[in-house]
Structure 1
Amino acid sequence: MNIEHVRTFLDVMETGNFNRTSERLHVTQSTVSARIKALEDSLGGHALFTRGRHGAAPTDYARKFQTHAVHLVRIWQQARHELALPRDYEAVLRIGIQFSYWDRVVDEWVISMRRSHPKVAVHMEADYSPAILNQIGEGALDIGILYRPDYAQEVTIENLGVERFIMYSTDTDHYAGIDPERYLFIDWSPHFKAAHLNLYPELQSSPVSMGIGSMAMSYLGRAGGTAYLPARMVRRDGSDISLRRIEDAEVIEQPVYAVYPQTSEKMAIVESAIEQLKAIIGQSEPTGDVSVK
């Protein structure tokens, strides 16, 4: 089975059209057709698409094969990366981090890992909890850092601590002084959203809402306002913002978990990486007003 044929199949599943796939992959339409036909032959002659005036509709067999195809491409990419390492490297540690969490720990963590394990290459990527859990199960990731783990066989789930979300403002230091029209709601996680709704339902339907922390910090720097921010992000952000902590607002705590296979030839490295992350998460948070320069 040719990996390029599998990649072409996945692209057609996304576009629903052989023409669009040929444009995206910079090949001719006849090449796309030939690749799909060759893949069908390697799968025992099962048809993958029904082509018509409106594009290419996947068959039931194609939908069943899609999950396996994604896994094949991931494993192929992993194998290529590990085999391409210089000879003096011992292993690659592959880590997936929750989208809304990665930008607050990744640089410190990688620096720490490179110092303690100079012969271990580190690959990091950001994704959402379900996708990270799937890749842990498939063996495509060694560690997953996420907010909401699902319990599964042959997987270890370890509580790393909590992420503390604190209400900050450019305008005031008391809740009564908040202008609801200048409140920015950031959807950090389902747990955060539920806690926020319970504490401050009047702020849930704010005029502006975002789902990415770095975007929110940029917005606050230009427009000002009030928002819940992770203490670590406020301490480390390099933008020019003067933030005042809302002293009488509740702190919302979000548990953070590490997920990894119960058995792995890299277990010593995995355990070391998790201990280093715990130390980073446990660092003190800022108190009171913060001038972020």
Structure 2
Amino acid sequence: AVPPGRRAVLTVGSEVSLAQPLLLDWVRWMRGSLPDIALRVHVDVPRDLINQVASGMVDLAIMYAPPHRPGLKIDLLLEEKLVLVTTNSEARLLDESDYVYMDWGPDFELHHGMNFPSAAPDLSFDLGPLALSYVLATGGSGYFRMSSVRPHMEAGRLHLVPEMPQFSYPVYAVQSASSDESVVGPALAGLHSVASADIKL
């Protein structure tokens, strides 16, 4: 049901690793710029999230590498970079003794394997914020999104490992092709605006 004083309810979602800061910043933008739209905010794993968009349970979702399906509209939001960072300012190579492997999906796994064929990390994560928190707390290195590590690099807690490969990490907005454009359209425009601001932060 639509709450009193609101013209519509919009359910927005994201993958867990994209909830901070992008989903949070978007929700803040929505509350300030589209106050007549009530919001439900949902975070889930990619497979469930894409099914929820397809079924209409979620109106608009932020995802990495969503599968193309009939009935879905997919917009490129931003092209992030995954970069190798370390707590050791002297590091010049991928050091397996303290390397934390973050599973950024099949594309990353493929390109990582091509660039580091002999790497056999013994610690891996499938949630970026958790892996980054581990590296910051205990020391080490790993591949993370540039936007999430930039503040730590500026503060001197993390350092970019020079001349190491960087990998593309495109982020998309996914919606049902049958969604209400009068509601989803302004929300998507705001998401594009927030995404372009976040990538420059």
Query: Aligning the two structures, in what range does the TM-score lie when normalised by the shorter sequence?
Result: 0.7 to 0.9
The equivalent position to 2:80 in structure 1, one of 163, 171, 195, is 163
Kept in 2, the 8 Å contact 1:147–1:256? The answer is yes
1:194 aligns with 2:136: no
SS of 1:282's partner is: helix
Say if 1:137 and 1:181 are closer, same or farther in 2 by CA, change over 3 A. same
The equivalent position to 2:20 in structure 1, one of 103, 108, 117, is 103
Aligned residue identity for 1:274: L
The equivalent position to 1:234 in structure 2, one of 142, 149, 170, is 149
Percent identity reads: 26
Kept in 1, the 8 Å contact 2:53–2:60? The answer is yes
Kept in 2, the 8 Å contact 1:173–1:245? The answer is no
In structure 1, the residue matched to 2:193 is 279
Kept in 1, the 8 Å contact 2:23–2:62? The answer is no
SS of 1:202's partner is: coil
1:113 aligns with 2:20: no
Q: With CA pairs under 8 Å and 6+ residues apart, which has the higher RCO, 1 or 2?
A: 2
Per-residue CA deviations over 1:81-120 (Å, capped at 9, x if unaligned) read x35x2x1112111112122222231221111111110121
Moved over 6 A (4+): none
Q: Give, in whole Å, the separation in 1 of the partners of 2:21 and 2:71.
A: 29
Q: Give, in whole Å, the separation in 2 of the partners of 1:158 and 1:219.
A: 32
In structure 2, the residue matched to 1:211 is 126
With structure 2 as the length reference, what TM-score do the two structures score? 0.87
Kept in 2, the 8 Å contact 1:98–1:145? The answer is yes
Kept in 2, the 8 Å contact 1:113–1:273? The answer is yes
For structure 2, the residue ranges without an aligned partner over 5 or more in a row are none
In structure 1, the residue matched to 2:51 is 134
SS of 2:88's partner is: coil
Q: Give, in whole Å, the separation in 2 of the partners of 1:121 and 1:201.
A: 49
Bigger Rg, which one: 1
SS of 2:158's partner is: strand
Instruction: Give the number of the structure whose residues are more often strand, by fraction.
Output: 2
Say if 1:141 and 1:230 are closer, same or farther in 2 by CA, change over 3 A. same
Kept in 1, the 8 Å contact 2:29–2:194? The answer is no
Aligned residue identity for 1:219: Y
Q: Give, in whole Å, the separation in 1 of the partners of 2:58 and 2:137.
A: 38
Instruction: Give the number of the structure whose residues are more often helix, by fraction.
Output: 1
1:223 aligns with 2:158: no
Q: Aligned runs of 1:19-38 on 2, under 5 Å?
A: none
